Amino acid sequence: MGLRLKDWYSLTKVNRVVMPASCFLLGVFAFSTFNELYVLPIFTILFLYAASATLNDLSDIDIDKISNPDRPLPARKLTRLDTFKISIFFAIVGVISSYFIGIIFNKPYFVLFGAGWLMLGIIYAVITSHHFITSSFTLSLSHGLLPFLASLYLSNSAMISYKALVFMGVILSTLFMTYNVKDFKDMEGDRLSGRVTIPLLKDASFGKKVMLILFIMTFPTAIIAWILLDGSYLSLVGSVFFSLILIYSGIDLFKANSRKEFSRIITRCTYVRALFILSFLL
């Protein structure tokens, strides 16, 4: 195949693992005492994310030919069969690693975490990615709620408790409100494929206004979560600070017109929303 490191990075979108990894660590630090064994599930998350991201590239090839022509598949550095094999490889490694992590933690049903992630990845790639509401909901489940619940299961913490439910609400609302920013750099391909995304609801300018409103909603989310969790003033300052950066990103969207500019904002949001989630641990 002759892929360079840059191509593997583009194919697996490994930088975006920061969100599900953060949701997993939120559960670990909020409900148990951290030990080095909790690093192992992060690798499972990495493999499963790579599997679903590669599968998504297969379903998005026609869109990527227009919006992301430099990715390995539309650039013909990989064939469809090669991409499918890579996705299967990461999926098998992810499920096997989740099985052995279940053995290490004496949690035999942890393998269902791997299977559930892959199932949601297939549902997203084949069904729900065509509309921004269903795509955001599916990604919020697979990249947020599922890793969080997996951490509670491994740490013997109650999945249905007041504190856990508040965290679930924060995770789902934050991801649902912020994930759609990724669609701004895929506008032309999404338009031709008939997808319904926020940038295509009316026009790009209207979509940017909607996205800014969604980013602004992270501010009351920070306040409400802080009150419900009876958090420290440090957690309030942290969550409000990262919320303001997200709002600034929404304002920054209005100045962006190229794929490069949209990619810069999307990358910033990827890390900031993870820090927003983790700030409630302060």
Give tens-digit pLDDT for 78-111.
888 888 888 999 999 999 999 999 999 999 999 9
The pLDDT assigned to 70 comes to 80
Which CATH number covers residue 205? 1.10.600
Q: Give this prediction's pTM.
A: 0.92
Question: Cα separations (Å) of 73 from 83, 84, 128, 190, 220?
Answer: 7, 11, 22, 17, 41
CB 78 within 8 A of CB 11: yes
The pLDDT assigned to 79 comes to 84
Which conformational region is residue 27 in: left (phi greater than 0), alpha (psi within -120 to 50 degrees), or beta?
Answer: alpha
> If 0-12 CB within 10 Å is exposed, 13-18 middle and 19+ buried, where does residue 158 land?
exposed
- Where are the alpha helices (H) located in 60-183, listed in sequence order? 61-67, 80-104, 111-126, 132-140, 146-154, 162-178
Positive or negative: CA dihedral 20, 217, 128, 149: positive
CB 120 within 8 A of CB 88: no
The pLDDT assigned to 1 comes to 55
pLDDT tens, residue order, the chain (282 aa): 566 777 677 777 888 899 999 999 999 999 988 888 999 999 999 999 999 989 888 888 878 788 778 888 788 888 888 888 889 999 999 999 999 999 999 999 999 999 999 999 999 988 888 888 999 999 999 999 999 999 999 998 888 899 999 999 999 999 999 999 988 988 888 888 888 899 998 888 999 999 999 999 999 999 999 999 999 999 999 999 999 999 999 999 999 988 889 989 999 999 999 999 999 998
The pLDDT assigned to 109 comes to 93
Q: Which residues of 196-224 are buried (b: 16+ CB within 10 A; e: fewer)?
A: ebbbbeeebeebbbbbbebbbbbeebbee
CB 24 within 8 A of CB 46: no
What residue numbers bound the domain in which 37 lies?
5-281
CA dist., res. 96 & res. 40, Å (int):
12
The pLDDT assigned to 232 comes to 93
CA dist., res. 211 & res. 177, Å (int):
8
Enumerate long-range contacts of 94-102, CB under 8 Å, 24 or more apart.
94/44, 94/47, 94/48, 94/50, 94/51, 94/118, 97/40, 97/43, 97/44, 97/47, 98/41, 98/44, 98/48, 101/40, 101/41, 101/44, 101/154
CA dist., res. 129 & res. 63, Å (int):
12
CA dist., res. 106 & res. 135, Å (int):
34
Length of the chain: 282
Q: How many domains does the chain have?
A: 1
The pLDDT assigned to 61 comes to 81
DSSP, res 230: T
